[in-house]
Structure 1
């Protein structure tokens, strides 16, 4: 009985084990078929420490995937990623993905509409055109999450 009591007390005062990382590092990417910049974004994510699985879809199948995830049509790009319940539409920088996972806003995901030059996978950042990363709410509304100014040497 005494040993059981001591064991119970020891369990109460012992430090709790650290929880495993609460967010996944795996991003599932659905790419446009044969799209080189989709592949470059996937490679960029891997270089940034994410595990990436990728598959190609063409035309209607790719659009249907975006619709199923709730990506507003005005925010479409060439590929769509998913991580921890969020979508990542287009050439979203790794820093914004990490911030999304850290802050965990009540949102559907992030979007970089179109294919801005100099965004990850779209040419050198040193020649970047200005673009915004948008936080897309579950109702389809959006707001600027991060703004990236044009590079000085354009």
Structure 2
């Protein structure tokens, strides 16, 4: 598959509701399916996806060389970007940007907040996929419903 075909396919998935449709309610089984858009060469993304699989999530991987179009479509602000972008949910889709801890994903899926998703910007040392250390301190941020909403702290890890 060519780079252009992979990007077109990924954008089609996004347009089909992966991010655009943020309606309320979801089918219970879909809450365990995470579609991860990542570079095929990123080892830390592999560690993160393997941990999600081991924790009981169904993980679908979309390898891409350039994730900029996906991040733009998902509305991930530049200062919140990390090495991979994921989407989870049934009828209600959420963006999961970067090395977000699985407990933050579970919390979001149980609470169903009116946000676009959650993010761990950059690649914090000690986060899941980056030499996991449960005592590592970093913040998980919300991505507001509107692209103009300022990211806000959601959880602080390591406290």
Corresponding residue to 2:83 among 56, 78, 81: 78
Is 2:132 the partner of 1:137?
A: no
Residues 147 and 127 (structure 1), Cα distance of their counterparts in 2 relative to 1, 3 Å cut: closer
Superposition TM-score, scaled by structure 2 size? 0.75
Is 2:108 the partner of 1:103?
A: no
Instruction: Compute the displacement of 1:135 (Å).
Output: 0.9
Is 2:157 the partner of 1:148?
A: yes
Instruction: Compute the displacement of 1:42 (Å).
Output: 0.3
Moved over 2 A (4+): 20-24
1:21 is matched with 28
Corresponding residue to 1:92 among 89, 94, 100: 100
Tell which structure's C-alpha radius of gyration is larger.
Answer: 1
Gaps of 5+ in 1: 1-19
Residues 126 and 94 (structure 1), Cα distance of their counterparts in 2 relative to 1, 3 Å cut: closer
The higher relative CO (CA closer than 8 Å, separation ≥ 6) is in 2
Which residues in structure 2 correspond to 1:29-108 (within 5 Å)?
29-59=36-66, 62-84=67-89, 85-108=93-116
Residues 137 and 33 (structure 1), Cα distance of their counterparts in 2 relative to 1, 3 Å cut: same
Quick one: distance in 1 between partners of 2:71 and 2:132?
27
Aligned to 1:125, the other structure's residue is in SS state coil
Instruction: Compute the displacement of 1:63 (Å).
Output: 0.7
Superposition TM-score, scaled by structure 1 size? 0.77
Quick one: distance in 2 between partners of 1:56 and 1:75?
20
Aligned to 2:73, the other structure's residue is in SS state helix
